[in-house]
Amino acid sequence: MYNTGIMRFKIHSDEYGRLTPVESGIDIPFEIKRVYYIYNVLSDVTRGLHSHNKLHQVLIALGGSVKIRIKTPSDEQVIELYDPAEGLYIGPYVWREMFDFSAGSTLLVLASELYDENDYIRDYCEYVRKNPLERGKI
Ligand code: TYD
């Protein structure tokens, strides 16, 4: 789907457990400028409900599971994240909704820019109107 993709990270596995390294610009296709994590979310809550003009992000379910609905004006997909060695890349102009957080789950987000509220599009009609796919520019 446009501006999205599943990424598989390396796993170093031995009798002591598993370790997954994630390096900025190597495993992640951008320089990581910000990290945040979402946790303590009740199972009936939907978060996100926005897109970004510039921001690139990779979402990783570090523990538990969470569903991510990714949408463009013409496409929609739901992806369940549950594997800490897997990331979901979401680029600019993709609408996202996070829901069905399992009890005790933690969603880690790696982001290409510092927090900037001006980069958000939180209104779905505005998102469709401003979307370059909709304007036929790409
Ligand atoms: P919000 O983007 O609404 O969360 P979600 O998309 O998961 O529903 O952010 C919730 C609050 O946290 C809001 O007040 C903005 C603040 N926030 C920061 O201060 N820094 C950040 O990096 C992020 C992502 C949010």
Tell whether 136 is covered by a domain: no
Cβ of 115 closer than 6 Å to ligand 1, yes or no, is yes
In b/e form, how buried is each residue of 29-51, taking b as 16+ CB within 10 angstroms? ebebeeeeebeebeeeeeebeeb
Give the number of the atom of ligand 1 that is nearest the alpha carbon of residue 111. Answer: 22
Q: What confidence tens digit (pLDDT) does each residue in 40-96 have?
A: 999 999 999 999 999 999 999 999 999 999 999 999 999 999 999 999 999 999 999
Tell whether 135 is covered by a domain: no
Tell whether 138 is covered by a domain: no
Cβ of 37 closer than 6 Å to ligand 1, yes or no, is no
> Is the pTM higher than 0.85?
yes
Q: Residue 94 is part of a domain; what is its CATH number?
A: 2.60.120.10
Tell whether 117 is covered by a domain: yes
In the prediction, which pLDDT does 57 show? 98
The question of whether 52 is a catalytic residue gets the answer no
Query: Structurally, how many domains does the chain consist of?
Result: 1
As a whole number, mean pLDDT of residues 104-115 equals: 98
